Structure 1
């Protein structure tokens, strides 16, 4: 699945932003406090709302009044356009969150539209408000399918529950299920190096957690169940980290799992707590990028933290390969070294203006485009302060 555009209104510092023509790998550049984390939190918010409800997702962030943009009295709005695959039609999802007369969070509008191409009138697959609405039934692959589809009236248990949660679990609502899977499959990383070092009780984990605290368990799972995948990770580690010749997840006598890294210069391996932050983080990213159950969207915040500058271009290459072969990748950064490996069409710039974030695509700026095509690296343009002038 691939997201093509996003509109956000009244979500914290994102008072009114639209991101268009999103490529498979998109890099969001800005100084600290420019809104990068808030942009990624949009995906976390929608995932929380799907897993629980709108009320709980808002409460996790301090409530409606803390989430809505400062000084705004309206609603919180999202619009996401995506394709399940390159051959399938464009789907638009709209969500409007508001308060009822008792100041309780409710879903004022939730609409799913189907459209072939970028033009033409869309057809509603799902249309809900205040917990009630209709949804089209069956496979929807053509205009006629949607136009002639039967629609079912539905009522949710509560007006703060997403219709895609209530209906997406049923096979008859195919298009709704596709969006549900997309949101369920979003992965927003918040890797904590110290958490990844800590030995864990022997257990079972197939996928890396958001913080990476189950890294050793996932490494053990891949070694035992997908040895060829683990071997590929190891070969990449050997290429990217000089000296590393082996990595293993070993169970200790007290029933805990620890990672041990073999440096070819030494006879005995090192346990993870003695390895550098950069080595641990690179291994964590490689575990994530080689997950046999690929994520539709990876959101990676500031991958430059704890990594050697010379590794950043190689990590960017790994992210790009994933975006081409497996799923979309969004990356936030403020590192010139990482930017040196980024293509112009992949870059979006974030700047605060009067307290709110603006987002522009770098390739739409004639000066930046001319300098890049003349051979200037984006990292150098960032160091010179030119990319801040994109907005």
Structure 2
């Protein structure tokens, strides 16, 4: 499953944007405050809505009035994603649409739809359609021999108008598309990595996946070492290539029942704990753990991976992102680094421009001049610095 398009309306600085034909790797650049973090936050928002409800997801961001675009408080927040999903043996384009409003200080879901075409012709059919906490879902959606009027509708009433229908219905296998989309949201990863969280030793425990801040890094390293030894050796091999001098990395149990990361430099006999290695070493190890997860996330959103990393490493990190995408995971990256962009292709690069308080998004490959210069050998980081990405640099 991969995201094909995104539409945002009245979501913070994005009053009305649409991104189509999204690649496996997408890199978003632009000045501070234009909305790179906000774009990724839209995915975090959907995830929070699913974990809790719309009211709590909005409250986490300051409430409806802080999320709705300025000057549009009486309108709806609209989020629409299109993604490819195998249904009845065919790769189908599925659309999920969510409209959120507020009345008397209480948020509500005006409309929630999941739709796709049953055949080669005709309009997409609504397999899930809810408004204000009531609606229906189709239980035999894979029975494509049946005409539309023969599809079995199951009417549902949710406990509250601010609860996503896919939160409940997605738990049941009979609602195929809803179940798949719920799983998709639950398993995407929006990174907010903090070096300070990843360094300390942790209480002994169990963790299979790196969490948002990276504070369980030592536990995940231990899990991969103990359960996927060959994969850990591959991570270690890449670590030696990326960070000069690193000979070994071990997640070690201490006598007081904690897990600590120990790094060994080839020049020294004894290893040293994570507290005494560079920020870049910790961050590169965390990225390699994330990008070599035995069960990859369907979507990774990573903000400013260049921080604490030496510029020459960034091209290699970009290749790691591409390798991850080839395994089936989509990667979205925000960056301020021309060095990172120098390894990118025009179809992978977007820039954000803010005009009159709202942001728009341009794609490098949509601009003939940039395509031609790239084809002649110019690198995109250079073109960005030279202001070929019109409007992307601070004024």
CA distance in 2, matches of 1:143, 1:336: 53
Q: Give the match's secondary structure for 2:211.
A: coil
Query: In the TM superposition, what whole-angstrom CA distance separates every residue of 1:13-33 from its partner, at most 9, and x where no partner exists?
Result: 111111111011111111221
Q: Among residues 104, 108, 111, which one is paired with 1:109 in the alignment?
A: 111
Q: What's the CA shift for 1:268?
A: 1.3
Q: Normalising to structure 1: TM-score of the pair?
A: 0.96
Equivalent position of 1:298 in the other structure: 300
Q: What's the CA shift for 1:119?
A: 7.2
CA distance in 1, matches of 2:120, 2:50: 27
Q: Is the 8 A contact 1:139 1:145 kept in 2?
A: no
Equivalent position of 2:354 in the other structure: 352
Q: Among residues 88, 96, 111, which one is paired with 2:91 in the alignment?
A: 88
Query: In the TM superposition, what whole-angstrom CA distance separates every residue of 1:268-303 from its partner, at most 9, and x where no partner exists?
Result: 112111111111101001101111121110000010
Q: Is the 8 A contact 1:123 1:147 kept in 2?
A: no
Please provide the CA RMSD for this pair: 1.8
CA distance in 1, matches of 2:93, 2:60: 32
Q: Is the 8 A contact 1:115 1:123 kept in 2?
A: yes
Q: Which piece of structure 1 moves more, 49-58 or 368-377?
A: 368-377
Q: Is the 8 A contact 2:14 2:359 kept in 1?
A: yes
Equivalent position of 2:246 in the other structure: 244
Equivalent position of 2:22 in the other structure: 22
Q: Residues 362 and 98 from structure 1, CA distance in 2 versus in 1: closer, same or farther, beyond 3 angstroms?
A: same
Query: In the TM superposition, what whole-angstrom CA distance separates every residue of 1:226-254 from its partner, at most 9, and x where no partner exists?
Result: 11111111111112112111100111222
Equivalent position of 2:101 in the other structure: 98
Equivalent position of 2:4 in the other structure: 4
User: Unmatched 5+ residue regions in structure 2?
Assistant: none
Q: What's the CA shift for 1:210?
A: 0.3
4+ long deviations beyond 6 Å? 116-119
Q: Normalising to structure 2: TM-score of the pair?
A: 0.95
Q: Is the 8 A contact 1:136 1:146 kept in 2?
A: no
CA distance in 1, matches of 2:31, 2:269: 44
Pairing 1:133-212 to 2, within 5 Å after superposition = 133-140=135-142, 142=144, 148-212=150-214
CA distance in 2, matches of 1:167, 1:203: 32
CA distance in 2, matches of 1:328, 1:149: 33
User: Unmatched 5+ residue regions in structure 1?
Assistant: none
Q: Residues 119 and 296 from structure 1, CA distance in 2 versus in 1: closer, same or farther, beyond 3 angstroms?
A: farther
The yes-or-no answer on 1:64 pairing with 2:64 is yes
Equivalent position of 1:52 in the other structure: 52
Q: Give the match's secondary structure for 1:322.
A: helix
CA distance in 1, matches of 2:290, 2:370: 33
CA distance in 1, matches of 2:364, 2:375: 13
Q: Residues 227 and 50 from structure 1, CA distance in 2 versus in 1: closer, same or farther, beyond 3 angstroms?
A: same
Q: Residues 147 and 247 from structure 1, CA distance in 2 versus in 1: closer, same or farther, beyond 3 angstroms?
A: farther
Q: What's the CA shift for 1:140?
A: 2.5
Q: Is the 8 A contact 2:30 2:392 kept in 1?
A: no
Q: Which piece of structure 1 moves more, 133-142 or 51-60?
A: 133-142
Q: Is the 8 A contact 1:88 1:141 kept in 2?
A: no
Q: Give the match's secondary structure for 2:193.
A: coil
Q: Is the 8 A contact 2:82 2:95 kept in 1?
A: yes
Q: Is the 8 A contact 1:140 1:175 kept in 2?
A: no
Q: Give the match's secondary structure for 2:182.
A: helix
Q: What's the CA shift for 1:84?
A: 2.3
CA distance in 2, matches of 1:118, 1:109: 26
Equivalent position of 1:388 in the other structure: 390
Q: Among residues 316, 321, 324, which one is paired with 2:323 in the alignment?
A: 321
Q: Give the match's secondary structure for 1:95.
A: strand
Equivalent position of 2:40 in the other structure: 40
